[in-house]
């Protein structure tokens, strides 16, 4: 079996993380896998997974080809590149259209599986119309969460032009996952107060929609002033120090440019993921890949209200709890309650649930 994976860029982000974890797992399973990126290769000064995880690239023989230029140049380059894949994973709608036309010209037989990675509500009307048209150039359309799936169907019927589109293919749920061996080297420091939260953790880009402002407001509440604060970001986060109060600066540790497995977490940590997509949003997704990675370690996450429906098992395990970020006082009481960490957690069961093999099985099924 030969899998070709196509994506739009290859720096640091959730899509890139999933693409690489898929490639690692396919390689481990003995399947041939190539990655094509429709953009320039990140420079040595730019942070990327290719720079961070060179040891894994070598171990699993991961090869990435970068194709730049106009759509026509990319079409010609892909035409020459594609030989005889059995399946193409298109994490790029532009890429899905390109390989669909190449299949027509070459009379190929490979399957095209397209994955949508964004809540449709975050797209403009013109962009969403284009996405819905592009998504028809494939054999299967998958989407990463129940919220995104329902959003897609709701937005399609909300607009008369989109409603009249001759869309025949149904969109299906395909949950994300993580490549477990990548996390095996993660270090988890033991704490004497296992039931009590000792440190608040923020992971990811320092953007407003990921909730960095909410995280800082929460961390600066007087009743939480005794807790340490850890921020792990892909880019320089020193600007946070200039806006934080003196008490928070004393408690704050910032780690920049390290992979998840390179960070020393503690079993008394609490991951805060206050993602927000704007006011009055009808659909919310609160489980990022970082949330899955923290769950692998048995570290609970607080996420946005209504964002856990895709992963009800993690609610059952007690690894995610939904909170209202507009009521930080209630959130702080939950943090101080001592009821967030479970002593009887079966991590083997949790990790089996998170294994990216389930994601790949779904993508490769008919």
* pLDDT (tens digit per residue) in 122-149: 788 888 888 888 888 899 999 999 999 9
38 shares its domain with 175: yes
Q: Angle at the Cα of 169 (from 163 to 173), degrees rounded to 5?
A: 100
Number of H helices, E strands in the chain: 17, 15
State the pLDDT confidence band at 163, using cuts at 50, 70 and 90.
low
Average pLDDT of every residue of the chain: 88
Q: What is the arithmetic mean of pLDDT over 245-272?
A: 89
Distances in Å between the Cα of 184 and the Cα atoms of 50, 102, 179, 293, 337 are 19, 40, 10, 11, 30
Q: Give me the DSSP letters along 282-351.
A: S------HHHHHHHHHT--EEEETT--TT-HHHHHTT-EEEE-TT-HHHHHHHHHTT-S--TT--HHHHH
Pair 137, 173 in one domain: yes
The reported pTM is: 0.92
- In terms of domains, do 148 and 158 share one? yes
- Statement to judge: residues 163 and 201 lie in one domain: no
Ranking 135-139, 228-232, 256-260, 291-295 by mean pLDDT, the lowest is 256-260
Mean pLDDT for the stretch of residues 208-212: 82
Q: Which residue has the higher pLDDT, 333 or 240?
A: 333
Whether residues 83 and 206 fall in one domain:
no
pLDDT at 324: 93
Domain containing residue 340 = 180-351
Strand pairing partners for 4? 34, 88
Q: Please tell me whether residues 138 and 165 are part of one structural domain.
A: yes
- Which residues partner with 34 through β-bridges? 4
Cα–Cα distance for residue pair 319/298, rounded to 1 Å: 7
Residue 99: which CATH number?
Answer: 3.40.50.2000
Using the 8-state DSSP alphabet, how is residue 167 labeled? -
Model confidence pLDDT, tens digit, residues 59-96: 999 999 999 999 999 999 999 888 877 899 999 999 99
pLDDT surpassing 90 at residue 112: yes
Given a cut of 80, whether residue 11 has pLDDT beyond it is no
Inter-residue contact 182 to 151 (CB < 8 Å) = no
CA dist., res. 21 & res. 256, Å (int): 21
Q: Are residues 209 and 326 in the same domain?
A: yes
Percent of the chain with pLDDT over 70: 93
Residues 111 and 214 in one domain: no
Question: Is residue 165 over pLDDT 70?
Answer: no
pLDDT of residue 344: 83
Identify whether residues 327 and 200 lie together within a single domain: yes
Q: Please check whether residues 54 and 203 belong to one and the same domain.
A: no
Across 14-28, 109-123, 242-256, 344-358, least confident range: 242-256
pLDDT band at 162 (very low <50, low <70, confident <90, very high): low
Residues 34 and 111 in one domain: yes
How many domains does the chain fold into?
2
Shared-domain flag, residues 11 and 36 = yes
């Amino acid at each position: 079996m030969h899998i070709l994976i196509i994506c739009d860029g290859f720096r640091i982000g959730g899509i890139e993380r999933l693409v690489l974890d898929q490639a690692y797992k396919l390689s481990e399973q003995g399947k041939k896998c190539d990655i094509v990126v429709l953009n320039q290769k990140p420079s040595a000064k730019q942070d990327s997974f290719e720079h961070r995880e060179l040891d894994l690239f070598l171990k699993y023989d991961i090869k990435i080809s970068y194709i730049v230029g106009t759509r026509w140049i990319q079409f010609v380059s892909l035409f020459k590149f594609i030989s005889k894949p059995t399946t193409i994973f298109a994490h790029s709608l532009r890429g899905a259209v390109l390989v669909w036309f190449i299949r027509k010209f070459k009379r190929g037989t490979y399957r095209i599986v397209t994955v949508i990675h964004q809540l449709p509500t975050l797209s403009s009307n013109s962009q969403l119309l284009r996405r819905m048209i592009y998504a028809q150039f494939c054999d299967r359309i998958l989407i990463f969460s129940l919220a995104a799936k329902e959003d897609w169907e709701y937005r399609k019927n909300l607009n008369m032009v989109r409603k009249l589109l001759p869309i025949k293919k149904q969109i299906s749920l395909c949950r994300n996952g993580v490549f477990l061996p990548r996390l095996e080297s993660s270090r988890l420091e033991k704490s004497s107060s296992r039931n009590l939260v000792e440190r608040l953790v923020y992971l990811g880009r320092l953007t407003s929609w990921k909730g960095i402002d909410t995280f800082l407001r929460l961390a600066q509440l007087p009743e939480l002033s005794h807790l340490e604060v850890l921020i792990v970001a892909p880019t320089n986060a020193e600007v946070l120090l200039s806006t934080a109060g003196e008490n928070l600066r004393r408690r704050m540790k910032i780690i920049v440019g390290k992979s998840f497995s390179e960070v020393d977490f503690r079993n008394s940590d609490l991951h805060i993921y206050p993602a927000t997509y704007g006011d009055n949003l009808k659909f919310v997704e609160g489980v990022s890949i970082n949330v899955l990675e923290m769950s692998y370690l048995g570290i609970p996450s607080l996420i946005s209200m209504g964002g856990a429906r895709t992963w009800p098992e993690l609610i059952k395990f007690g690894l995610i709890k939904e909170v209202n970020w507009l009521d930080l006082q209630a959130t702080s009481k939950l943090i101080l309650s001592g009821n967030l960490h479970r002593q009887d957690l079966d991590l083997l069961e949790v990790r089996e649930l998170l294994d990216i093999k389930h994601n790949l099985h779904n993508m490769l099924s008919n």
